[in-house]
Amino acid sequence: MATSSTSALAAPRTGIWLIGARGSVATTVVAGWAAVAAGLQPAVGMVTHTPPFADCGLPDLPSLVFGGHDVAACPLPKRAEQLAAQGVLPHDLPHAVRAELAAADAEIRTGGPLVDDLRDDHELISAFAEDIASFRMRNNHARCVVVNVASTEPAPRAGDDRLPASSLYAAAALRAQAAYVNFTPSTGLHHPALHGPYEVPVAGRDGKTGQTLLRSVLGPMFAQRALTVRSWSGANLLGGGDGAALADPDAAAAKNAGKERVLADTLGTVPEGVVHIDDVPSMGDWKTAWDHIAFEGFLGTRMVLQTIWQGCDSALAAPLILDLARIVTRAHEAGLTGPLPELGFYFKDPDPGAPSSLSEQYTALLGLADRLRVAHT
């Protein structure tokens, strides 16, 4: 049949299956991808668009196709308009990329478990895996990567032997032979039932977008200068879905563990001080993070560094997600499997253990680019 023979000849496509596909991060990913692919916006924030990643064989933007799971019903074009009203997306963008948003929305399936869901874990995994497989088939694409961008889920409780939702989706990805990226601090593959080895590349967890990004350069600075950090305290204000989710101390605990790990790794000790995450609904997707670092210099002199980071979470996350999807897809093609340690650059809690200093992580990332380039040429 004409169509199928055309399909067979078409360039291979890469599927990106987003868990939380109608959230603000996912909406920004799809709208931003469409804008950059169409040349409406520069690729600011996408590290894979910088010279070191040329000729690495990464899938190009037009070859990507999006779908995903969500339990929310508001369609992507509508979500994009809401984000534009908040200043997260350029005002005209939802209109300009309406077709692409609608196309992605048509590929979104209802996730779960829903309230009163009678399916057990196995049934859910099967259903999710089937959604993914069907998406791949429908879109004639060679590879697929599942990326978790859903709201942070509460830390699992001891004694609860059901898999958390993030792990159900992770299991479905493995079942469907899709690569897997966990951009949230949720459990995902970090569950005893899902230990590897894996036949696909996986990456995680908890995207490093703001305060922890800063900590991963400031921690090494103090260490390299042999200055003693006495306390490192922080406050985060954010609205949006994540603000509400992280106001739950259990959910925040997972996130804060990642933040503290960066300090422990780079400073060699854990300084005094805690991090708070506050839900401030009126801030929407905008986040303000204040850090107060009390340190001691020569002869015990007390000094202080404070930082204030005012950013838009979705805008910070989206280009990293496109980066990860492209790199992991290419790694999959190049035959790499399991956790990719060179992706620590992107995560608060890199999997497997990786250096916490951003500059070391960047060097490692460039090394991966080199490996992929060599494999490509």
What backbone torsions phi and psi does residue 17 show, to the nearest 5 degrees?
-105, 110
Q: Between residues 26 and 168, which has the closer beta carbon with respect to a copy of itself?
A: 26
| Cα–Cα distance measured from residue 210 to residue 189, given in angstroms and rounded to the nearest whole number | 24
| 310, amino acid identity | Q
- What is the distance between the terminal CA atoms of the chain, rounded to a whole angstrom? 34
Greatest extent of the chain over all pairs of C-alpha atoms, in Å: 81
Write down the least CB distance from residue 89 to a copy of itself, Å.
6
Q: Between residues 171 and 289, which has the closer beta carbon with respect to a copy of itself?
A: 289
Q: Between residues 188 and 284, which has the closer beta carbon with respect to a copy of itself?
A: 284
Of residues 19, 26, 89, 331, which one binds a copy of itself by CB under 8 A?
A: 89
Q: Between residues 17 and 53, which has the closer beta carbon with respect to a copy of itself?
A: 53
Q: Between residues 292 and 373, which has the closer beta carbon with respect to a copy of itself?
A: 292
For 122, the token pair is 């196995």
Per-residue string for binding with a copy of itself, 280-299, x by CB under 8 A?
Answer: xxxx----x-x-x-x-xxxx
Write down the least CB distance from residue 198 to a copy of itself, Å.
28
Helix (H) or strand (E) run with residue 174 in it: helix 165-175
Write down the least CB distance from residue 73 to a copy of itself, Å.
25
**Does the footprint of a copy of itself cover residue 41 (CB under 8 A)?**
yes
**Does the footprint of a copy of itself cover residue 309 (CB under 8 A)?**
yes
**Does the footprint of a copy of itself cover residue 46 (CB under 8 A)?**
yes
| Cα–Cα distance measured from residue 142 to residue 137, given in angstroms and rounded to the nearest whole number | 9
| Cα–Cα distance measured from residue 52 to residue 373, given in angstroms and rounded to the nearest whole number | 10
Residue with tokens 């340190």, as numbered in its chain: 295
Which neighbouring-strand residues pair with 67? 17
Of residues 150, 171, 316, 369, which one binds a copy of itself by CB under 8 A?
A: 316
Write down the least CB distance from residue 271 to a copy of itself, Å.
8
**Does the footprint of a copy of itself cover residue 47 (CB under 8 A)?**
yes
Per-residue string for binding with a copy of itself, 171-210, x by CB under 8 A?
Answer: ----------------------------------------
Q: Residues binding a copy of itself: what is the number (CB under 8 A)?
A: 74
The residues near 105 (Cβ < 8 Å, ≥ 6 apart) are: 22, 75, 76, 77
Q: Which of residues 264-283 bind a copy of itself (CB under 8 A)?
A: 272-274, 276, 278, 280-283
**Does the footprint of a copy of itself cover residue 65 (CB under 8 A)?**
no
What ranges make up the beta strands (E) of the chain?
A: 13-19, 64-70, 108-110, 141-148, 179-182, 201-204, 228-238, 275-279, 286-296, 302-312, 338-339
